[in-house]
Amino acid sequence: MRTLTNDNAISNDAQATPRKPRVMVAGEFSSGKTKLINGLLGETVLPSNVTATALPPIWLVSGDKGLLAVDLEGNQRPAASLQEVCVDDTSYCVLSHPAACLKQFEIIDTPGNSDPNIPAESWERMLDFADTVVWCSNATQAWRQSEKSVWTEMPERLLNATMVITHADRMTDATSAHRVLRRVTREAGEFFDEIMMASLMLDADIARIAHHLKTICKGLPLSGGDRKIDFAVAQAITYSARSSSRLDGIDDLVKQPLEGGRVSASVTSKDLVATPLPAASMPDAAAIVKPIDAARRRVAAKMARSMS
């Protein structure tokens, strides 16, 4: 990637302000990365449909809504929507958004590392800019050998990582959830400081993850990246401020309900960061499975009544 040297584009105040920690969200294809990020933001900002698999990494920063595409040579241009960018000719996008969590830390979304249609370089290049990693692993096949192979090659400075075992709602009962959590903790504990199990359909679990990230980002060593990324971020915010009329198309990305038709009206992105939660970040698996089982029983009872 071409080094950007136009430091004059950044004000002296911006140079003196410490940057925010950067949290890279990674994992294999369909591991729940997008659903986790949208949950943290409080609304559907990133697409999770089939076309999303052709997207490059997306760097989410705090600011008015705006979108910037950076090509493979480091050249930058404003874009009206993510539909305009493609992984084949775009290194990454910088998307600015006013979500409360982005005032605490920035998020780098990456393509699934197991997707055969996307070269590994597309997400690996973002490792240089991350300060910590959240690795998503699907509970139904958590911590596969292919995931372990990725982590044996991970830079040592990023081993202060968090694993989120996603799709806990697909576990049939608490015993199964406990079994998966124990196995993954035993096999992957050397690679992760924290291993959490969560259902991304539950607001409480999203809030627990947000609280964990806010906590670990306090005092986190800012070991990733260099000035050229700060310049790109500054440009993204500048474009969003100067060209809002040209970027109205991005509103389409944030007016959709969350997957499954759920719109979180009672829990906002501000609540997710500000709500005090217990220090323990690895709950009893039964606490995850029980509310899901209860919901299933309520649905079954309602169906039985309607058929009688």
Domains of the chain from N-terminus onward? 7-307 (3.40.50.300)
How many Å apart are CA 92 and CA 71, to the nearest integer? 7
Residue 70 makes CB contacts below 8 A (sequence gap 6+) with 76, 90, 91, 92, 93, 94, 232
Amino acid at 156: E
184 or 260, which is more confident? 184
229 or 87, which is more confident? 87
**pLDDT at residue 168 above 90?**
yes
How many Å apart are CA 161 and CA 138, to the nearest integer? 17
Q: What are phi and psi for residue 161, nearest 5 degrees? A: -105, 170
Residue 87: what pLDDT? 87
8 or 163, which is more confident? 163
Residue 196 makes CB contacts below 8 A (sequence gap 6+) with 162, 163, 164, 165, 208, 209, 212, 281, 282
Closest to 112 (Cα-Cα) out of 166, 188, 190, 64: 166
For 36-56, what is each residue's pLDDT tens digit? Answer: 999 999 999 998 765 555 789
Residue 265: what pLDDT? 35
Closest to 61 (Cα-Cα) out of 51, 70, 50: 70
pTM recorded for the entire structure: 0.72
Calculate mean pLDDT across residues 201-225: 95
37 or 6, which is more confident? 37
**pLDDT at residue 191 above 50?**
yes
Task: Note whether 177 and 288 are within 8 A (CB).
Answer: yes
For 137-162, what is each residue's pLDDT tens digit? Answer: 999 999 999 999 999 999 999 988 99
Write down the mean pLDDT value for the chain: 77
Going by their DSSP bridges, the two strands 76-78 and 66-71 should be labelled as antiparallel
Task: Note whether 283 and 113 are within 8 A (CB).
Answer: no
